């Protein structure tokens, strides 16, 4: 179906490009923060077997996962707040104009931790935004990082010190008017930062005057075949009264009549 965004532009709703990573119980499924893989197991009692292949009448399974550690997820300010803000209450719109950019994180020496860090700086984001086309009206930004191999769909990020964004980069993103930040990393902050989570706090302006409508989505995978450009983005979540939810993100090309 053709869905018109205005008299001159439209999307083909049958041509969506899913950039989320499926949740599965495979041992090599993407994960972070020392989480175990997802568990999907049938309910079994003395009177009931929730598995058709084991004699049950239906498949009736429990699913155990951590939204932050297993696969693509969208989170709200409740991730860092004392207040019980939930993604189901904070995310009230689901369709956005989004710019996709690609960056190669810069390697720097972190003197505090005596490690080589990979950082996404303001300058890297600024240059990528300028190269990716007209971002006027975009309220979502998707950051794809190099090296962009399909191994990202199966990586265990725990204890690997993945790339992260500087606070200057976050401030620049906020200055662009971005409400929804999407990254292919396990976090916008350093894996080990002593609990500071400076990028999260800055993005949500917490605790001064929290921006409840803003979201961060982490651990997507954007294939190289999808070029840097402006797209129509759909963010789908479960109606969870929790700080984060597993998410499905779908991109659509914006076409002209």
Query: What does the pLDDT look like over 127-138, one tens digit per residue?
Result: 999 987 777 889
How far is Cα of residue 149 from the mean position of the Cα atoms in its chain? 17
Q: What pLDDT does 131 receive?
A: 85
Q: What pLDDT does 245 receive?
A: 98
Whether 64 is covered by a domain: the verdict is: no
pTM above 0.85, yes or no: yes
Task: Tell me how many domains the chain contains.
Answer: 1
| Residue 103 contacts residue 120 (beta carbons within 8 Å) | yes
Whether 83 is covered by a domain: the verdict is: yes
Whether 223 is covered by a domain: the verdict is: yes
Sign of CA dihedral 16, 21, 24, 29: positive
Give the residue numbers spanning the domain of 79: 2-22+71-256
Q: What are phi and psi of 68, to 5 degrees?
A: -75, -30
Residues of the chain with pLDDT under 70: none
* Closest among 157, 161, 201, 165 to 182, alpha carbons compared: 165
Residue 145 tokens read as: 């990082």
Whether 153 is covered by a domain: the verdict is: yes
For residue 134, give the CATH number of its domain: 3.50.30.50
Predicted confidence (pLDDT) per residue in 179-207, tens digit: 999 999 999 999 999 999 999 999 999 99
Residue 114 tokens read as: 């005596």
Whether 34 is covered by a domain: the verdict is: no
Q: What pLDDT does 135 receive?
A: 78
Q: What pLDDT does 34 receive?
A: 97
Per-residue burial over 131-147, b = 16 or more CB atoms within 10 Å of its CB, e = otherwise: ebeebeebbbbbbbbee
């Amino acid at each position: 179906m053709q869905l018109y965004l205005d008299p001159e532009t439209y999307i083909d709703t049958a041509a969506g490009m899913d950039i989320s990573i499926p949740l599965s119980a495979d041992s090599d499924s993407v994960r972070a923060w020392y989480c175990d893989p997802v568990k999907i197991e049938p309910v079994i009692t003395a009177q009931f077997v929730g598995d058709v292949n084991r004699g049950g009448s239906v498949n009736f399974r429990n699913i155990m996962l951590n939204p932050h550690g297993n696969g693509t997820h969208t989170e709200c300010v409740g991730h860092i707040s004392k207040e019980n803000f939930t993604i189901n209450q904070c995310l009230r719109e689901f369709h956005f104009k989004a710019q996709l950019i690609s960056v190669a994180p810069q390697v720097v020496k972190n003197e505090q931790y005596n490690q080589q860090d990979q950082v996404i700086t303001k300058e890297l984001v600024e240059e990528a935004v300028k190269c990716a086309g007209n971002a006027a009206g975009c309220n979502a930004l998707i950051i794809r990082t190099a090296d962009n191999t399909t191994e990202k769909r199966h990586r265990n990020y725990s204890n690997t010190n993945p790339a992260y964004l500087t606070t200057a980069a976050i401030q620049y993103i906020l200055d662009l008017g971005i409400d929804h930040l999407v990254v292919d990393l396990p976090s916008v902050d350093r894996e080990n930062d002593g609990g500071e989570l400076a990028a999260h706090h800055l993005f949500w302006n917490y605790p001064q005057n929290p921006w409840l409508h803003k979201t961060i989505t982490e651990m997507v995978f954007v294939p190289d075949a999808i070029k840097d450009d402006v797209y129509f983005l759909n963010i789908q979540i479960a109606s969870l009264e929790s700080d984060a939810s597993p998410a499905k993100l779908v991109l659509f090309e914006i076409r002209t009549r």
